[in-house]
Chain A
């Protein structure tokens, strides 16, 4: 398996299955770890980084060869990748934007079905992540903890009895754990309640972010909720705190959807139908407009207003219509305006029964 094999497949976490998957897109858990006998990244030399990368690569390969880790694991030298491939991995949520843009020896290992990835030499020496479809934080934690144990067999972590796992940034020290749930909240956006929700989440020390990173844009009405505290709370308690708030948000979102239907079923149905119509017929379309319209379509499916489309197809389209994905699928570099035309063609194909012809495997 290599990077190009990923182009025509898609991550397990996009299946659209699992608990509450109409509103909860995915659950993600990540661990920050550092190797005890090296400085953190900001003070490490090129030699240090190369040595860290080598140690991790050899151990991961050993685990993969002995089948204790996925035999189909893909290990990529991020420094050697073309820019388009690095961007592709960011769109795929397998590496962070920082990891793509950094310099020097760094890598990523990707497990089968993209259920886990391990970034080497990101902000910390190791950033391990596990992604599951739907609301599934505890299973994701159990999986990542086993991965962590495997990696630790030959890597001694920087750890202090009082402060726990030591990380480059004091905001991650302790468990080094970030648990996040990605929610699709279009009705809370339409009814402008989303900001109120943000404020109440901040009060209980949870962070909110849009899809694709730190910025203020929440493309496609996707919001990631995650813990901020990593010290003084066990992993299970932290994840419970994040997990406990999710049913409340799901309930708000469902209430807002019911409100929209009650208030004006026609307006809502019109919005959904127009969005679907544009996506099926447009000749050129931007990424932002696509995400925006797909969001309405996704909600339309969940409300039974669209019946000839699978939720997993829409989930995939959010990712596969991103710039690097389109170019990888097309097999050439495209300008922004060429991408908009390619995107429209891709959407027409997928939404007018093209699903049957594609090389999709899941």
Chain B
């Protein structure tokens, strides 16, 4: 038996069930592989494109000027701009969830259908994560001070960072012991 698509011998005998009647299709290996592979579009629609989703949402009820202004907005902690987030689909730091809260909300609703967490909670919940977020900012400021060759400011910042880190370690050890 010959392949229905080319003249090679047919080694695959596929039963097509998608029509009304089961139908036999006879193909060679190469043609069969092509025939059976899920199409690109079919796989592509599996993972929702974050960027596209975001662009669509933002286009609703916002002028071009408003959008341009939003794109320029940056997180004061890590420095990521909304444009950068939009392009790469990845946030820069935990604070971005607060900083871009209003813009993220419809996106979260679109992806998850919900905006409130249900489920596991860390055993040691950081009260609000504010101290940790402050550390992220201070480390960035220190790096910038070094780059500006403002070593005095850099060493002040380093001391401040060390104190906070030490405090966090103490409270961590205490809560671990309590368990």
Residues of A within 8 A of B (CB): 34, 36-43, 45, 47-48, 123, 145, 148-149, 152-154, 156-166, 168-171, 173-175, 177, 189-196, 198-199, 202, 205, 207-209, 214-218, 228-235, 237, 259-260, 263-264, 267, 271, 274, 292
Per the bound structure, the CA–CA distance linking A70 and B1 in Å amounts to: 58
Per the bound structure, the CA–CA distance linking A160 and B50 in Å amounts to: 22
Min C-beta distance of B8 to chain A, whole Å:
15
List chain A residues, Cβ under 8 A from B60.
none
Min C-beta distance of A175 to chain B, whole Å:
5
Given contacts A170-B50, A190-B15, A230-B112, contact A156 B132 (CB under 8 A): yes
> Does B43 contact A216, Cβ atoms closer than 8 Å?
yes
Min C-beta distance of A56 to chain B, whole Å:
15
- Give the residue name and chain of the B residue nearest to A141 (CB): B120
Min C-beta distance of B97 to chain A, whole Å:
6
Instruction: Give 9 A-B pairs besides A42-B90, A234-B118 with Cβ atoms closer than 8 angstroms.
Output: A37-B133, A41-B90, A47-B143, A152-B122, A156-B122, A158-B132, A173-B97, A175-B117, A189-B36
> Does A229 contact B14, Cβ atoms closer than 8 Å?
no
List chain B residues, Cβ under 8 A from A292.
33
> Does A231 contact B50, Cβ atoms closer than 8 Å?
no
Min C-beta distance of A268 to chain B, whole Å:
9
Per the bound structure, the CA–CA distance linking A202 and B43 in Å amounts to: 10
> Does A36 contact B132, Cβ atoms closer than 8 Å?
yes
Query: B37: CB under 8 A from chain A?
Result: yes
Residue B15 contacts which of A177, A199, A260 (CB distance < 8 angstroms)?
Answer: A260
Min C-beta distance of A272 to chain B, whole Å:
13
Residue A229 contacts which of B15, B111, B121 (CB distance < 8 angstroms)?
Answer: B111
Return the 9 tightest CB-CB contacts between A and B, nearest first.
A232-B114, A164-B117, A43-B92, A36-B132, A37-B132, A231-B112, A216-B43, A158-B94, A39-B93
Residue B40 contacts which of A161, A164, A205, A216 (CB distance < 8 angstroms)?
Answer: A216
Listed stretches B63-71, B123-131, B149-157; interface member: B123-131
Per the bound structure, the CA–CA distance linking A218 and B143 in Å amounts to: 46
Given contacts A194-B38, A235-B120, A264-B13, contact A208 B46 (CB under 8 A): yes
List chain A residues, Cβ under 8 A from B17.
191-193, 259
List chain A residues, Cβ under 8 A from B77.
39
List chain A residues, Cβ under 8 A from B97.
160, 163, 166, 173
Query: B88: CB under 8 A from chain A?
Result: yes
Count contacts between A and B, CB distance < 8 Å. Answer: 198
Per the bound structure, the CA–CA distance linking A177 and B126 in Å amounts to: 20
A-B contact pairs, 16 of them (CB 8 A): A39-B77, A41-B90, A42-B88, A154-B172, A156-B168, A157-B122, A158-B132, A160-B97, A161-B125, A168-B91, A192-B17, A216-B37, A228-B111, A231-B112, A232-B112, A235-B120
- Give the residue name and chain of the A residue nearest to B88 (CB): A42
> Does A170 contact B94, Cβ atoms closer than 8 Å?
no
Min C-beta distance of B124 to chain A, whole Å:
7
Residues of B within 8 A of A (CB): 11-18, 22, 33, 36-40, 42-48, 50, 77-80, 88-94, 97, 104, 107-108, 111-126, 129, 131-133, 135-136, 139-140, 143, 165, 168, 172, 176
Residue A231 contacts which of B13, B116, B120 (CB distance < 8 angstroms)?
Answer: B116
> Does A174 contact B168, Cβ atoms closer than 8 Å?
no
List chain A residues, Cβ under 8 A from B115.
162-163, 231-232
List chain B residues, Cβ under 8 A from A37.
131-133, 135-136, 165, 168
> Does B15 contact A191, Cβ atoms closer than 8 Å?
yes
> Does B112 contact A164, Cβ atoms closer than 8 Å?
no
Per the bound structure, the CA–CA distance linking A196 and B18 in Å amounts to: 9
Per the bound structure, the CA–CA distance linking A177 and B36 in Å amounts to: 32
> Does A40 contact B50, Cβ atoms closer than 8 Å?
no
> Does A202 contact B45, Cβ atoms closer than 8 Å?
yes
Per the bound structure, the CA–CA distance linking A313 and B100 in Å amounts to: 51
Min C-beta distance of A289 to chain B, whole Å:
9
Min C-beta distance of A229 to chain B, whole Å:
5
> Does A198 contact B93, Cβ atoms closer than 8 Å?
no
> Does B94 contact A166, Cβ atoms closer than 8 Å?
yes
- Give the residue name and chain of the B residue nearest to A233 (CB): B118
Per the bound structure, the CA–CA distance linking A200 and B136 in Å amounts to: 44
> Does A195 contact B38, Cβ atoms closer than 8 Å?
yes
List chain B residues, Cβ under 8 A from A160.
94, 97, 117, 129
- Give the residue name and chain of the B residue nearest to A171 (CB): B111
List chain A residues, Cβ under 8 A from B93.
38-40, 43
